[in-house]
Structure 1
Amino acid sequence: MIMEKVLAAAQPYLLGKSVRDLVIGVSLIGCQLDNGDIGVSYVLRDDLPNGCSDFPYAQEVIGKPASEIARWIISGSEDLQRAIAASVLTAASCGQNIPDDDPSGMLFGIRVHPGDTVGMVGMIGHVARQISKSVKELIIFDKGISLHGGDSMIHPMEEQPKLLPACDVVVLSGTTTINNSIDPLLAMCGKAREILMVGPSTPMFPEGWRGSGVTRLAGSWWDKGHKEEIFKSISLACGVSYLKKFMQKKVVDVKKF
């Protein structure tokens, strides 16, 4: 499992830290470690239990060692538990010297060509709009959209094994590390010269991704001076676009870090 390697790479930044605070909203999860660093991850609602569900593990997080909670990215029994782990990992990643994104250059530093076929797993609207102008074909998969009636742009999930192997570039949402789809997806992307992982849930530990096929990580850090505003907004069901004013976008080339 690739997440075993990522978790091992994260250990130096997790050890000795604990979870100071946690908030679970409808769309996002926020975590603060005891050194003040903040991580945010997405809530994947589609596969959560129906009804008045109880998630007792969430009540246990605050005060626990960060390394123990981060382990849930592998051992978690459902998407919400793994998403909590993802928020811990993104907070811990702030201990590294990862460069800021350069918005004036190529999208996340990747070069696409007019003849390229690009695959995207997890609809990321602004990225899709930018890429689609420059390539031959953009193939998008999104489980949530497909489950709820779909969109003419979205391909059925069952077409992934047929279409992803033909892609020159693949963009994966960081949530693929939460729903246990990352390993089979990477196995389908053997042709791709670039595999980019994007979004706040992306675990930004380049060393752990080496040899996986992932070439670039594009995630987010958060202004810990605005922790109360970030957590309050998450508790009131905000999405990531509402938090952009507190976001610091980060991009790293896995091979060069």
Structure 2
Amino acid sequence: MDGAKDMGEAGVPTRWQEDEVPRMELTSRTSRPAGGSDPEGIAPRLRLHLAAEARGVRVQDVRIGLGYTAVRLGDGRTGVAYTFRDLARGGCSVFRGARPLVGRLADELLAFLESSDAIEAAVGLACANALANREGLGELHGDILEHLEVTPEDEVAMIGNFAPLLEGLRLQARSLTVFERLDGPGSRELRADHEAPEVLARSSVALITATSLLNGTLDTILKAARNCRVVALLGASTPLVPEVFEGTCVTLLSGVVVHQPEGVLQVVSEGGGMRQFGPSIRKVSLRLGAGRP
């Protein structure tokens, strides 16, 4: 994340700017836990929900960039996910799964969602986001801060440093605490990621980076945030699939729809990120119904 000005288009959800800075890693500098994701967690639910959509669909292109990973399907639908390059294993061959990826069925790539390898998980999530990539989802328009409906009584916990949101949240909320990986001492507002569950338990608003799906921490975070009034999953990695989050505490999904695949693929290949995607994507937000467990 950085303090760059809002790069969103007018009339669409704006301000959050998930970027390629390693500070978004949140919790772990190593791999996800052995054995992959929780069988009752979001990743397996996402895979199961999209299984029928993936059946018979071929993968046309895969790019594993330094900032993002992208998957394009045979029908042109394209999705992206953050690349955790600091978690890459295997030396110069950072993708350790079977090759080639191009030409395989989408459900084969979707299986990587539950991988304990962060790079494989990125391929799986990018494939999931491609399968879910469509216009007309009933999305919300305007500033994302308006949809969060933060009040002066709210205590906000932000998992991952979405810098463009900070100033507005400081003005709206009683308190704001940001959690990320720290190499040195933190501060009252900036705390080490391992302290997040304790603070989430007493917060009323939780803003969570979707990259937590890739390092295996999202399910734990959602359990800690279960009493929050507002729980938003943010960033280009966000799967815009409301059904997967039914029965969870998530109330808002804020991600992207890719409508110029070639532009996105080129940016990914050249090591770019959100700021470079520009007009190739559109930021959207989806409000979820009351579905608390």
**How many percent of aligned residue pairs carry the same amino acid?**
24
Match of 1:24 in 2: 64
Q: Mark the CA change 1:183 to 1:61 in structure 2 (over 3 Å): closer, same or farther.
A: same
Runs of 4+ in 1 over 6 A off after TM superposition: none
Match of 2:122 in 1: 83
Contact 2:263 2:277 (C-alpha < 8 Å) held by counterparts? no
Q: Mark the CA change 1:248 to 1:51 in structure 2 (over 3 Å): closer, same or farther.
A: same
- Aligned length in residues: 250
Q: Mark the CA change 1:53 to 1:129 in structure 2 (over 3 Å): closer, same or farther.
A: farther
Unaligned residue ranges in structure 1 (runs of 5+): none
Establish whether residue 161 from structure 1 lines up as the match of residue 201 from structure 2: no
- Structure 2 residue corresponding to 1:114, chosen from 152, 170, 188: 152
- Structure 1 residue corresponding to 2:172, chosen from 134, 137, 162: 134
Q: Aligned-pair distance for 1:55? A: 2.1
1: distance between equivalents of 2:113 and 2:170? 32
Aligned-residue CA RMSD in angstroms? 2.2
Q: Aligned-pair distance for 1:123? A: 1.4
1: distance between equivalents of 2:48 and 2:91? 36
Establish whether residue 93 from structure 1 lines up as the match of residue 132 from structure 2: yes
Q: Aligned-pair distance for 1:51? A: 4.7
Match of 1:231 in 2: 265
**In structure 2, what residue type is equivalent to 1:180?**
G
- Structure 2 residue corresponding to 1:43, chosen from 83, 99, 106: 83
Match of 1:187 in 2: 223
2: distance between equivalents of 1:41 and 1:129? 26
Q: TM-score, normalised by structure 2?
A: 0.78
Q: Aligned-pair distance for 1:46? A: 2.6
Q: TM-score, normalised by structure 1?
A: 0.89
Q: Which deviates more from structure 2 when the two are superposed, residues 63-72 or residues 95-104?
A: 95-104
2: distance between equivalents of 1:7 and 1:246? 26
> Which has more helix, going by share of residues?
1
- Structure 2 residue corresponding to 1:68, chosen from 93, 103, 108: 108
Contact 2:88 2:94 (C-alpha < 8 Å) held by counterparts? no
Secondary structure of the 2:103 match is: coil
Contact 2:159 2:193 (C-alpha < 8 Å) held by counterparts? no
1: distance between equivalents of 2:132 and 2:245? 14
Q: Aligned-pair distance for 1:58? A: 6.8
Secondary structure of the 1:138 match is: strand
Q: Mark the CA change 1:12 to 1:95 in structure 2 (over 3 Å): closer, same or farther.
A: farther
- Structure 2 residue corresponding to 1:217, chosen from 249, 253, 261: 253
Q: Mark the CA change 1:124 to 1:150 in structure 2 (over 3 Å): closer, same or farther.
A: farther
1: distance between equivalents of 2:135 and 2:262? 24
Secondary structure of the 2:116 match is: coil
Question: Where do 1:143-158 residues align within 5 Å?
Answer: 143=181, 146-147=182-183, 149=184, 152=187, 153-158=189-194
Establish whether residue 204 from structure 1 lines up as the match of residue 244 from structure 2: no
2: distance between equivalents of 1:178 and 1:221? 19
Q: Aligned-pair distance for 1:96? A: 6.9
Q: Aligned-pair distance for 1:21? A: 0.2
